[in-house]
Amino acid sequence: MGIWPAGSRDQYGDDYFRLSPKGVGTGPGIFEEWKLDDFISLVRNPNYWLKGKPGWERLIVKVVPEDATRVAYLLGGQADLIGAPPPRDFSRLKTRPQIVGETRPTLGGWSVLMLNNARPPFDDINFRRALAHAVDRKAITEKIYYGLVEASAIPAPASGWWFDAEAAKSRAYDLDKARSYLKQSKYANGTSFELMTSSVPYLLDAKDCVVFLQSEFAKLGIEVKLRLMDSAVVQAAMARGEYQAMFRNIMSPGEPTYMTMVNFTPNQFMSKVRNYASPKVEELLRIVFAETDQEKLKPVYAELLRFLADESPYVWIGFLNATNLWRNRVKGFKPSRGLTINIRDVSLA
């Protein structure tokens, strides 16, 4: 996705760009050094198109997966800016002397229970519907994620223009409905499944959430066997569809079609993730892609969201917030609703 100077790929070759693209680039920073699982450093681009930007000479992006270590780096002055701070500590940390914090809803960040529809028990639509009704999203977003996830039972954020309240209400937390759907399924007498998630935080730590889901589904007689795995293992299993269920926090462009298209239509890079496809989804997306008028699109999205809520190929928890903490010497920074960290306008006091 990088934008490189014209002719540079022909001049240097693919391996140069893949491993160590020193001295080339068109952004605010030019590649300097990379150490695997440690850091990437960039230096200021003197030829950047926006004169006077950026306001720094060197940027070091440090890889620090542990929440406590990232926070310690920030408080100790070893880091000026961190992403994905621990939700339980965010409100407290942003009031510390010399620390600033902000959180903004995103439009494309799913917090989601991904179900492999080709594998039992998720081959049964009523079982999937039962799970959707068994999730107390309010408790998760308020008590586990401390307001840094916006609750939603459908693939649309409550603050998004394409959100449909009727679709969301149709899969609201309701244990009586969950039990009713379970009785209509092939697994009325209970069953078990394996739930995989990353052992280290990505965007947000998932461990407390999956333990909570495990306890909620147990109320229905459903045993959840948790598997906490290395992120690379989880990512590979997801891409190949080699799992039963998986809890992920994932990010995409903040618009209505991208995640629906890549997850629920054929021949996309996430098609194996869910093993679910429907001509209805493809039909409605074709209409969406041909229309630009937002008012005309709203009823189409409503139909699409209600259909996906009914089918429940996944169980949505909500949408991530973009949340950052930084030291007050960092000027001009704002969290991005795309969850990237934009440092073009940043300067240091």
For 158, counting Cβ atoms within 10 Å of its Cβ (0-12 exposed, 13-18 middle, 19+ buried), the class is: middle
Domain 105-321 top-level CATH class: alpha beta
- Residue 106 has a pLDDT of 86
Q: For 221-267, how does the pLDDT look when each residue is reduced to its tens digit (9 = 90+)?
A: 999 999 999 888 998 998 888 999 999 998 888 889 999 999 999 88
- Tell whether the model's pLDDT for residue 75 goes beyond 70: yes
State the pLDDT confidence band at 18, using cuts at 50, 70 and 90: confident
Characterize the bridge pairing of strands 99-115 and 245-251. Answer: antiparallel
Q: How much is the pLDDT for 67?
A: 87
pLDDT (tens digit, 9 = 90+) per residue, 23-55?
887 889 988 999 988 999 999 999 999 999 999
**pLDDT tops 80 at residue 8:** yes
Angle between helices 125-133 and 175-184 (to 10 degrees): 170
pLDDT(201) > 80: no
Residue ranges of the chain assigned to CATH 3.40.190.10? 8-104+322-348
Q: Are residues 233 and 87 in contact, defined by beta-carbon separation less than 8 angstroms?
A: no
Please tell me the pTM assigned to this model: 0.85
The CB density around residue 129, as the number of other CB atoms within 10 Å, is: 24
| pLDDT reported for residue 2 | 66
Percent of the residues in the chain that have a pLDDT greater than 90, as a whole number: 70
Band the pLDDT of 178: cuts 50, 70, 90.
very high
Averaged pLDDT of the chain: 92
Q: Above pLDDT 70, what percent of the chain?
A: 99
135 pLDDT higher than 90: yes
d(CA 258, CA 155): 11
Torsion of CA 177, 145, 257, 324, to 10 degrees: 170
**Residue 317 falls in which region: left (phi positive, over 0), alpha (psi -120 to 50) or beta:** alpha
Q: Which residue has the higher pLDDT, 141 or 199?
A: 141
pLDDT score for 14: 85
Residue 77: pLDDT above 80?
A: yes
Domain with CATH 3.10.105.10 in the chain: 105-321
Look at residue 1 and tell me whether its pLDDT is greater than 90.
no
pLDDT of residue 19: 81
The residue-averaged pLDDT of 89-115 equals 93
Angle CA(64)–CA(70)–CA(72) in degrees, nearest 5? Answer: 135
CATH number of 8-104+322-348: 3.40.190.10, 3.10.180.10, 3.40.50.300, 3.40.309.10? Answer: 3.40.190.10
pLDDT at site 166: 98
The pLDDT-based confidence of 70 (bands split at 50, 70, 90) is very high
Omega cis (within 30) before 54: yes
